[in-house]
Structure 1
Amino acid sequence: MARLSQVGARIGGAGVAVGTVAPVTRTLPALDLTADPVTLTAALVDVASVSGQEKELADALEAALRAQAPHLEVLRSGDAVLARTNLGRPHRVLLAGHLDTVPIADNVPARRTGGIVHGCGTSDMKSGDAVFAHLAATLTEPRHDVTFVFYDCEEIEAERNGLGRIEREHRDWLDADLAILGEPTDGALEAGCQGTLRVELRTAGRRAHSARSWLGDNAIHAAGDILSRLADYRARDVEIDGCVYREGLQAVRIAGGVAGNVVPDECVVTVNFRFAPDRSAEQAVEHVREVFDGVELTVTDLSPGALPGLSAPAAAEFVTASGATPRAKYGWTDVSRFAALGIPAVNYGPGDPNLAHTREEHVAEDAVTACAAVLRRYLAP
């Protein structure tokens, strides 16, 4: 919402030369954090914040927290905004949500119809951010100390994720007995997360003219052994803290071939392993190497899972307060970052994950209200 004024004459005899450009001034969007979280969700959606372009929203949120939540210590880190109570409580709970969205798909500004808020980021995860920001401003005497982390660049490459920068530069701000991420779970409590591993498996052959194929060695045909091992693979189901994590080993891409008349001399099969959090990242790699023993293998992506940690006192208390039956998180989220720091972490947010990143993204107003009520019940004295 920047305004740029070009002045073509002196005004009141004072001061701006003809043809000069006045300094740029910015009017920040006004965010009322004390408004109900549904209204606040729509207000957050109206401030576009595609990954890497979160500054305007971060500026507005920082200004609102400093003005409306004087009971909080506030810190700015890049385009992340952090706030926390310092009440000396025996336990600390951290509420974290990313400010960024995927690119807008003609779905900003927000639109409210029939108990639904439509718009980019409503589900993933500005409704969760709205709940957290509302609690930050209105819950002045929580029974646990609370840290609020609104961070940038979650939807893009991991090295740009704001949580990584915060960990490097402000590690103490991530200390907590429980971390709750507002990722969309449709009001369910999803504990921990799977780890993810991607590998490339290569087979080699010898080129030849396809009219004289017996002179060559077809690398694509050789990949049949890889596909057979995948077809025969039996994935584990692993129960941890009452949550069942199901593993999966899948080919997600295959590439090979030179031309329509050439026997190919190379084939690459990309395989994704989603593994239960009882395996370390190193154990996951070793397992996949065993499955494909004898095949050339290159690791291209690896992120560890997160144990649910529901036996930790603060986590067990939240389970009780939510009234929900915890379930395993199928997929990878930033709870893994907290688990690596020894902090139990769960995903809990009002959005429907199946609507994330779609043109039709929306969130039910009553889901936002219910999520806010559960967290207030857990944190209020």
Structure 2
Amino acid sequence: MVTLALDLAANPVELTAALVDVPSVSGNEAALAAAVEHALRSQARHLEVVRSGNAVLARTRFGRPTRVVLAGHLDTVPINNNLPVRRTGAGADLVLHGCGTVDMKAGDAVMLHLAATATEPRHDLTFVFYDCEEVEAARNGLTRIERELSDWLTGDLAVVCEPSNAVVEAGCQGTMRVTVRTNGKRAHTARGWLGVNAIHAAGEVLRRLAEYEPRQVEIDGCQYHEGLQAVCVEGGVAGNVVPDECVVTVNHRFAPDRSPEQAEAHLREVFAGYEVSVVDLAAGALPGLSHQVARDFVRAAGGQPVAKLGWTDVARFAALGLPAVNFGPGDPSLAHTREEHVPAADIRRCAEVLTQFVH
């Protein structure tokens, strides 16, 4: 296999385009990982480089008093007739279109450019380019790296270069999915009075959801909005049978000042009297902006950080004790869409901020 040649010192906009043109749907990142590994080994001799599956890790070892970990995933969702990369506009108005431009090869390009050009940083730097972020957590490359190369994930600040409109998004919400079950008694619908309709019984569950008033919580100057939404209702066995079971699936997004245990206790209180089962759970991440390195980064970004309304891998780093933020080019609402595109101005801004921060 011929390895693609990447010029890491090149304009990060053009580096983004080169990365986008290498398909890397989850599970098929080998070609891109090989290109990233070869480029780092040949063009960034100041870095220690290791390969872990289809993840590539690199770090400085200058003995600086602080270490910053920068992370980005190499994989994308399936291609949707949106490769190769396409350009519109020019100069300051240039826009790159294509699968992975936003999520998150523009962020990877910024990281790679920084890895090659920051030869004398004031912080030691670790770069983590990992695989399988877009699929189930068990396959996520960070899971394997934490298990096998845990010392590579230590530091004083983690910056996950996921798209954030080139502003600092601090921490992230936790997410929990539960099922709320109602029970009844089957009967023929011609004699419905002999049964108990479990779907009708779920009306009270839906009423509580409709009347629920979610919290808004300010942490480190960031406003987190909680949410509670029914996402699925299942019940019924046939068109002429009174259903004896109904299951309402509910998604809860909770502010990171709540632990998963507290969030679960809250939902059990909301749905008191019903059978509640947790089917999916991921803890949130506190922003940690009181830490000096985090404050320095926010200052370098030149603006007020905002809360991350969603869950990202910053939560993994927060669980390891690192304050963690999202900071990357592109609009996250365009991720996973056929219309995915990133302004070159976002890429340039992120590269400039990170360069200023590490020097």
Which of 53, 66, 74 aligns to 2:41? It is 66
Question: Residue 213 of structure 1 aligns with which residue?
Answer: 192
Question: Residue 76 of structure 1 aligns with which residue?
Answer: 51
Return the letter of the residue paired with 2:123.
H
Return the letter of the residue paired with 2:306.
R
The structural deviation recorded for 1:170 is: 0.5
1:357 aligns with 2:332: no
SS of 1:235's equivalent in the other structure is coil
Return the letter of the residue paired with 1:93.
V
- Listed one character per residue, the Cα deviations across residues 308-359 of structure 1 (whole Å, up to 9, x for unaligned) are 0001010000011100210100000000000101100000001111111111
Question: Residue 32 of structure 2 aligns with which residue?
Answer: 57
Return the letter of the residue paired with 2:152.
W
1:190 aligns with 2:165: no
Aligned residues: 355
Q: How does 1:278-317 map to 2 (within 5 A)?
A: 278-317=257-296
Return the letter of the residue paired with 2:59.
R
User: In 2, Cα distance between the equivalents of 1:188 and 1:46?
Assistant: 26
Which of 329, 342, 360 aligns to 2:321? It is 342
User: In 1, Cα distance between the equivalents of 2:192 and 2:4?
Assistant: 68
Return the letter of the residue paired with 2:25.
V
The structural deviation recorded for 1:91 is: 0.5
1:273 aligns with 2:247: no
The structural deviation recorded for 1:138 is: 1.0
SS of 2:200's equivalent in the other structure is helix
- Listed one character per residue, the Cα deviations across residues 260-304 of structure 1 (whole Å, up to 9, x for unaligned) are 111111100000110000011111111111111110111100000
> What TM-score, normalized to structure 1?
0.92
User: In 2, Cα distance between the equivalents of 1:141 and 1:332?
Assistant: 33
The structural deviation recorded for 1:205 is: 0.6
1:319 aligns with 2:294: no
User: In 1, Cα distance between the equivalents of 2:40 and 2:277?
Assistant: 47
- Listed one character per residue, the Cα deviations across residues 164-213 of structure 1 (whole Å, up to 9, x for unaligned) are 11000011100110000011111111000000000011111111111111
Question: Residue 5 of structure 1 aligns with which residue?
Answer: none
1:377 aligns with 2:356: yes
Return the letter of the residue paired with 2:41.
R
Question: Residue 9 of structure 1 aligns with which residue?
Answer: none
The structural deviation recorded for 1:57 is: 0.4
User: In 1, Cα distance between the equivalents of 2:314 and 2:144?
Assistant: 16
Larger radius of gyration: 1
Return the letter of the residue paired with 2:18.
A
Question: Residue 109 of structure 1 aligns with which residue?
Answer: 84
User: In 1, Cα distance between the equivalents of 2:23 and 2:73?
Assistant: 13
SS of 1:149's equivalent in the other structure is strand
Judge which range, 123-132 or 282-291, deviates more. 282-291
SS of 1:338's equivalent in the other structure is helix
User: In 1, Cα distance between the equivalents of 2:320 and 2:345?
Assistant: 34
User: In 1, Cα distance between the equivalents of 2:95 and 2:157?
Assistant: 31
The structural deviation recorded for 1:214 is: 0.3
User: In 2, Cα distance between the equivalents of 1:326 and 1:51?
Assistant: 31
Question: Residue 129 of structure 2 aligns with which residue?
Answer: 150
User: In 1, Cα distance between the equivalents of 2:165 and 2:225?
Assistant: 20
User: In 1, Cα distance between the equivalents of 2:88 and 2:211?
Assistant: 49
Return the letter of the residue paired with 1:109.
P
The structural deviation recorded for 1:113 is: 2.0
Gaps of 5+ in 2: none
User: In 1, Cα distance between the equivalents of 2:6 and 2:88?
Assistant: 21
The structural deviation recorded for 1:248 is: 0.7
Superposed CA RMSD in Å reads 0.7
User: In 2, Cα distance between the equivalents of 1:135 and 1:232?
Assistant: 49
> What TM-score, normalized to structure 2?
0.98
Return the letter of the residue paired with 1:138.
T
User: In 1, Cα distance between the equivalents of 2:296 and 2:257?
Assistant: 23
Which of 168, 179, 195 aligns to 1:200? It is 179
SS of 2:134's equivalent in the other structure is coil
Deviation >2 Å, runs of 4+: none
Give the share of equivalent positions with the same residue, in percent.
69
Return the letter of the residue paired with 1:345.
A
